[in-house]
Structure 1
Amino acid sequence: MAEPIPVLVAGDHFVRNRLLIDALHAEGGPAAWQVRELELPWPRVPFGRVAEVDEASGSEERMIEALGPARVCLTQMAPLTRRVLAACPELELFAVSRGGPVNANLAAAAERGVAVTFAPGRNAESTAEHTLGLMLAAMRRIPRAHAGMLAGRWDSELFAYDATGLEIAGSTVGLVGAGAVGRRVAAALVALGADVLVSDPYADPAAMPAGARLVPLEELLERSTVVSLHARLTDETAELIGAAELAAMPRGSVLVNCARGGLLDYAALAAALRNGHLFAAGLDVYDVEPLPADHPLRTAPNVVLTPHLAGASRAVAERAARMVAAEAGRWLRGEPPLHHANPAGVAR
């Protein structure tokens, strides 16, 4: 019988070690793996930069000590730096359970023949649902009504015509970006009776959900009662929606962003809410995170804010664990990775 493979499971308080271990045992059986554990403090302690990598939790010292002779590491937030790689020469696979392995030095890993994998689409369903939740909350002013009830009010004034909310059914909703999240949101909105427009210069028209139509961004902004952002953040899309784009939206429209903070000019958004051009906004991502106490959005009217939670569901954590464990299973069977982040590096 083959010797069990030393593997480090470096989970956190979201993608828990027990989820990773259960998923790993489903790949090759418990006898295939000699599991070491490291629990990282995220999200109870915010992630940050560790040496040359971003959005990492823990430290190089803890990783080096925990990895030891491990040939495989399953993690979400552990830092993979040049120093860690140099101190752990047995490592062959670093499987990251998130959509982008920004906590790994891909070039340094490739130089040492360490394959880095990731988990694209792990939170597409969760983010799509959160988008719809924010959209409905902003359009129907649910947080305002809820706050009034908690304060002991029965705010029947919200039934006055000028104070009532908007409906999705019959509205034109524009989606900027047609990736995994955007397509799911589009399908749900069509089912709710919206006229759905999508702007994405790279989208395949054949992949659009039935009832959703691709249009230029200018047309989408001019026609949409609701605009929801779903694009990737690149040099091309940075501050894609600024003061001019917000002004091009119809008066009384709604802006939703569960994608990336860098897509949007938040000062311009706060101004558009204050001057009444926009009816409301629903936001999960920001230009600065955590959101500063003096940020203009905190005092802007009719805005619904959540702290970057769109991808947070139990199903996401479970799915992420299965995805990285499946990469370990492929490695064990001598198969190539499914989601290889540094294919220029050849895994040993």
Structure 2
Amino acid sequence: MTTRVLAAGDLFVRNELLIDALRAEAPGDLAFSEVTLPWPVEPFGRVAEVDEASGTEEQLIEALRGAEVCVTQMAPLTRRILEASPDLRLFGISRGGPVNANLEAATEHGVAVCFAPGRNAGATAEHTLGLILAAVRRIPQTHVDLMAGQWRGDYYRYDDVGIEIHGSTAGLVGCGAVGRRVARALAALGARVLVHDPYLDDLGDLSGIAELVPLDELLARAQIVSLHARATPQTTGMIGAAQIAAMPPGSIIVNCARGSLLDYEAVCDAAESGHLFAAAFDVFPEEPIPAGSRLLTTPNIIVTPHLAGASKQTAANAARILAADVGRHLRGEALLHCANPEVLEAARPARP
């Protein structure tokens, strides 16, 4: 039997990537329809009750008519969309977490939601390392000065130079797919690596490479602090003025995870006072950064526009991970990355 699939791609995880991956992974006769969402040219935002989505409820309701499966990165899955889509059984989100889906409503409607953890781990780890290097060696500032005709040899003064990664202590707050890669990279460059992650009892394959410590110890010892925790009620605001004050003078802080983890006003205060040598961020509490934000004017703060995960490999990985779970769904197998596994117990039997 034919399975109707909606590919709701965007300008990063494109429909052709999703469709090619599905044809390679999923069995049977698939009939595709397509809609292209405007992200990232248009920033994502809140759609009804879900966050970080692109497109509208009306657009998805129309596109999902008769579809059993939807694969997307940014399309919203709201209660209203679910109520208007009785044929839908699987909603696949090609992101590290299903933030744009109402999981409670999906479960009530018997719709399984899968996602793609680790899809951008390599890209984000590399971007994190790039921001660390940019911060400790003043690369963006000296580039801008030189392009403006200023040869800033004065940055060679002892009080103005940064540290080397080799021989420094680096602390990672969170040690999932991204954090583990950053730990290995920093260790390879000669850093002593500390890790704080309340979900870990041991470091597994990082044993001998990193040391698992409490957060207060990590902050007191690390000259380089990089955030890799997920956004949860428990992690919101976990690094504030007191935690920054506990860091060694002249240290740096980097965040390529989630803007909600960190008090950015406290960072600006610490950078202005000189307590922090530098800071570097790819994520922010409000995106795009509003005009007039202190992040845009405080010296020694480096910012990039939430593109740490932007690589061709990330887009391909996202489509491949999602397609593998669609294949499992069609074969009647358990999903590997299901956000609401309780719905599977009552799911319809797979088609032969």
TM-score w.r.t. the length of structure 1 is 0.95
Counterpart contact for 1:93–1:347, Cα < 8 Å: no
- The amino acid that maps onto 1:269 is V
CA deviation digits over 1:195-216, x for unaligned, max 9? Answer: 1111222213142513210112
> Structure 2 vs 1, CA of residues 208 and 273 (structure 1 numbering), >3 Å: closer, same or farther?
farther
Instruction: Indicate the residue corresponding to 2:40 in structure 1.
Output: 43
Instruction: Indicate the residue corresponding to 2:254 in structure 1.
Output: 256
Counterpart contact for 1:48–1:56, Cα < 8 Å: yes
> Structure 2 vs 1, CA of residues 289 and 145 (structure 1 numbering), >3 Å: closer, same or farther?
same
* 3-state SS in 2 of match to 1:103: coil
* Corresponding pairs, count: 345
Instruction: Indicate the residue corresponding to 1:272 in structure 2.
Output: 270
Distance of 1:22 and 1:79 partners within structure 2: 23
Distance of 1:163 and 1:132 partners within structure 2: 21
* Equivalent runs, 1:48-63 vs 2, <5 Å: 48-63=45-60
* 3-state SS in 1 of match to 2:183: helix
Which is further off, 242-251 or 81-90? 81-90
Identity of aligned residues (%): 63
Distance of 2:4 and 2:98 partners within structure 1: 22
Instruction: Indicate the residue corresponding to 1:136 in structure 2.
Output: 133
> Structure 2 vs 1, CA of residues 219 and 60 (structure 1 numbering), >3 Å: closer, same or farther?
same
CA deviation digits over 1:273-294, x for unaligned, max 9? Answer: 0011111011111222211111
Distance of 1:32 and 1:122 partners within structure 2: 27
* 3-state SS in 2 of match to 1:307: coil
CA deviation digits over 1:247-283, x for unaligned, max 9? Answer: 1111111111111111111111101000111110111
Distance of 1:27 and 1:215 partners within structure 2: 41
The one of 307, 310, 325 aligned to 1:309: 307
Counterpart contact for 2:226–2:253, Cα < 8 Å: yes
- The amino acid that maps onto 2:128 is T
- The amino acid that maps onto 1:103 is N
Task: List alignment gaps of at least 5 residues for structure 2.
Answer: none
Instruction: Indicate the residue corresponding to 1:80 in structure 2.
Output: 77
Distance of 2:251 and 2:335 partners within structure 1: 44
Say if 2:194 is the partner of 1:197.
yes
Say if 2:113 is the partner of 1:116.
yes
1:157 Cα deviation from its structure 2 partner: 2.3
1:302 Cα deviation from its structure 2 partner: 0.8
Task: List alignment gaps of at least 5 residues for structure 1.
Answer: none
Distance of 1:206 and 1:267 partners within structure 2: 33
Counterpart contact for 1:80–1:105, Cα < 8 Å: yes
Instruction: Indicate the residue corresponding to 1:180 in structure 2.
Output: 177
CA deviation digits over 1:203-234, x for unaligned, max 9? Answer: 13142513210112222111111111112222
Say if 2:128 is the partner of 1:127.
no
Instruction: Indicate the residue corresponding to 2:294 in structure 1.
Output: 296
Counterpart contact for 1:6–1:71, Cα < 8 Å: yes
1:153 Cα deviation from its structure 2 partner: 2.7
Counterpart contact for 2:230–2:258, Cα < 8 Å: yes
Which is further off, 274-283 or 97-106? 97-106
> Structure 2 vs 1, CA of residues 316 and 59 (structure 1 numbering), >3 Å: closer, same or farther?
same
- The amino acid that maps onto 1:38 is V
Which is further off, 120-129 or 197-206? 197-206
Instruction: Indicate the residue corresponding to 1:347 in structure 2.
Output: 347
TM-score w.r.t. the length of structure 2 is 0.94
Instruction: Indicate the residue corresponding to 1:207 in structure 2.
Output: 204
* 3-state SS in 2 of match to 1:26: helix
